[in-house]
Amino acid sequence: MSEIPKNLKYSKDHEWVEINDNVATVGITLHAAESLGDIVYVDVDSIDKNLNQFDKFGEIESVKAVSDLFVPISGKVIEINEALLNNPEFVNEDCYDKGWIIKLEINETKDLDELLDSEEYEKII
């Protein structure tokens, strides 16, 4: 069983989030990446938008499937990982680091209470 990073928080939809001051970095978990298969395209059309927790922020496509992406925490989408445009396979290769998808500017962290820690996430997969 692969390592689920302990420093991250997780949503039931298999997104992870890492908080650094008022910036949250979001991606999908290894479980999600493995279920989808080889990622071919990541589509985020919510740059500069203010989103509520669990709003849809984009879509991720593999060869045979497409999945909606939901923000695990409220905030404003301030950055998209441009590297994924030419290298969507980064999500398969390293989903917790170079495969990050968006960064959000956040105001508050009480949304984190709705999320799971690494042990709780491991239970649901």
Partner 1 sequence: MINKEQPLLMDQSKKGRKAINLPGFGVPETKLPDSKFLRKEIDLPEVAQLDLIRYFTNLSSLNYSIDTNFYPLGSCTMKYNPKVNEQIAGINGFASSHPNQLDENIQGNLEIMHDLQNELGEITGLPAVSLAPLAGAQGEYAGLLIAREYHIQNNQGNRNIALIPDSAHGTNPASASMAGLKAVTIKTTKEGDIDLEDLKANVNENISVLMLTLPSTLGLFEPNILEITKIVHDNGGLVYADGANLNALLGITKFGELGVDICHSNLHKTFSTPHGGGGPGSGPVMVAKFLEKYLPYPHIKKEGEKFLQYKPEFSVGRLNGFYGSFGILVRAYAYIRSLGSEGLREISENAIINANYIQERLKNHYELTSSRRCMHETVLSASKQKEDGVKAIDIAKKLLDEGFHAPTMYFPLIVEEALMIEPTESESKETIDRFISSMIKISELSKTNPKEITNAPLNLPVERLDEAQAARNPVLTWEKQ
Partner 2 sequence: MNNSPYIPSTDSDQKEMLETIGAKSFKDLLNDVPEKKLLPDLKLKEALSEQELVAFFELMANKNFASSAMSSYMGGGAYNHYIPSTVKSMIQRGEFLTSYTPYQPEASQGTLQVGFEFQSMIAQLFDMEVCNAGMYDGPTALAEAALMACRIKRNNTIVVHSSISNKSLEVIKAYSKWQNIKIINYDDINNEDDSSEYGCLLVQSPNQYGEIEDVEKLANEIHAKNGLIVQHTYPISLGLLKPPGQLNVDIATAEGQPLGVPVSFGGPFIGLLTCKKEFIRQLPGRIIGQTVDKNNKISYALTLQTREQHIRRESATSNICTSTQLIGLMVAVYLATMGPNGIKTIAETCYHRAHHLASELDKMDNFKILSNNFFNEFIVESKVDIAKVNNILFENHIEGGLDVSDKDCKKIMFAVTELNTPELIRKTIEILGENLD
- Interface with partner 2 by CB under 8 A: which residues? 40-41, 43, 61-66
Q: Which of residues 10-39 bind partner 1 (CB under 8 A)?
A: 37-39
**Residue-by-residue DSSP string for 13-60:** TSEEEEEETTEEEEEE-HHHHHHH-SEEEEEE--TT-EE-TT-EEEEE
Q: Does 62 bind partner 1 (CB under 8 A)?
A: yes
- Give the largest Cα separation in the chain, rounded: 37
Provide the minimum distance between the beta carbon of 117 and partner 2 in the complex, in angstroms, as a whole number.
32
Q: Does 82 bind partner 1 (CB under 8 A)?
A: no
Q: Which of 22, 41, 56, 93 binds partner 1 (CB under 8 A)?
A: 41
Other C-beta atoms closer than 10 Å to the C-beta of 111 total 20
List residues binding partner 1 (CB under 8 A): 37-41, 61-64, 88-89
